[in-house]
Amino acid sequence: MIILAVESSCDESSVAVLKDYKEVLSHIVLSQIDIHKVYGGVVPEIASRNHVVHMTRVFEQAILNAGIKESDIDLVAVTRGPGLIGSLLVGINAATAFAFAHQKPIIGINHLIGHIYAANLEHEMKFPALALLVSGGHTELIYMEKHMSFKMLGTTFDDAVGEAYDKVARTLGLSYPGGPIVDKLAALGKDTYNLPRPFLDKTKFDFSFSGLKSAVINLVHNAEQRNETIDVNNMCASFQASVLDVLIEKTRLAADTYDVKQIIVAGGVAANRGLRARIHQEIPNREIIMPSMKYCTDNAAMIGAAAFYYNDAVGPLPNYLLGGSSTLNIEEL
């Protein structure tokens, strides 16, 4: 099955062509990060407008690189949410127009399910599995009994972990997106600031990161008032140590409670080098899979990977309609 997949939920215009769920024939990701950097975050209206400018070219390049003809495509898949509504609409309209013009079936894929299935591109999912989904908008522990079955075990009560990374970075005068920079500087510093480990004492699987973020902001502001300097590397190391202590401990607890065969770590924050190293060391008794770095942040290949199983689970959908989740409980995400 040849799948043409489209992702435009935030500031990446991405199209990929996949053969079944494993073979990525082409994969284009056009990032707008340099445009949004000057504003310290993604500006939704600017993101939508740039998707409009580039989307057709990204489609053409992906098909060209895959070495296929439009008629070879069996299924079109597009991110249907969650995300920035203007950005989503550009991808959905482009994919729907393409499907209509070439008489192909089209399905809508949940962005978070896409992130989880990114792990299946280079590994084999085994069930029951536990997914730790950590991105700019989400922090979730999800139990998967089988393909396309999702039970939310825990989520964040406030900030998502990636969002906390970005806000802490901004407070420290680092550029956007903050996650990769904080991760890099954390490796150069030490955990000296004694930050809180939010919710670590709770037996539930929920998270909270706004208190931790506020702790960093308060320390930075107090230091400014006293004309003291903050050791940025040590602050990054302290923040990251606190985040990882919580993420890894909750993941370990959920994996033990549900006795899963595999742990899947996915989403933009899964690119975190500290997390990738520590989770293997601290949960040595379970198989842990995660996408390679290029499939952690937003990309269309992950949407194609999920589409293969979604199509399999739901069966053929009416042509030209974005598939709903009907019998599946994926709406929970």
Please report how close the Cβ of residue 104 comes to ligand KG4 at its closest, in angstroms: 26
β-pairing, 139-144 vs 151-155, is: antiparallel
User: Of the listed pieces 17-25, 100-108, 173-181, 219-227, which binds ligand KG4 according to CB under 6 A?
Assistant: 173-181
Contact call for residues 6 and 300 (beta carbons, < 8 A): yes
Tell me how far apart the alpha carbons of residues 78 and 3 are, in angstroms, rounded to a whole number.
10
| Binding characters for ligand KG4, 18-57, by CB under 6 A (x = yes) | ----------------------------------------
Q: Is 166 in the site for ligand KG4 (CB under 6 A)?
A: yes
> Measured from the CB of residue 157, what is the shortest distance to ligand KG4 in angstroms?
18
Residue with tokens 């999920």: 306
Which residues neighbour 47 within 8 Å (Cβ) at sequence distance 6 or greater? 10, 11, 32, 36, 84, 86, 87
Phi then psi for residue 232, to 5 deg, are -60, -40
Q: Residue 139 CB, nearest distance to ligand KG4 (Å)?
A: 10
Site residues (CB under 6 A) for ligand KG4, limited to 267-296: 267-269, 271-272
Stretch that binds ligand KG4, among 49-57, 247-255, 263-271, 323-331 (CB under 6 A): 263-271
Q: Does 189 bind ligand KG4 (CB under 6 A)?
A: no
**172 versus 269: smaller Cβ distance to Zn ion:** 269
In the window 126-165, what residues touch ligand KG4 (CB under 6 A)?
135-137, 162-163, 165
Here the tokens at position 205 are: 């699987």
Does 298 participate in binding Zn ion (rule CB under 5 A)? Answer: yes
Helices (H), ranges, the chain: 33-37, 44-66, 85-102, 111-117, 161-171, 178-186, 210-225, 232-258, 273-282, 301-314
Residues forming the site for Zn ion (CB under 5 A) = 135, 298
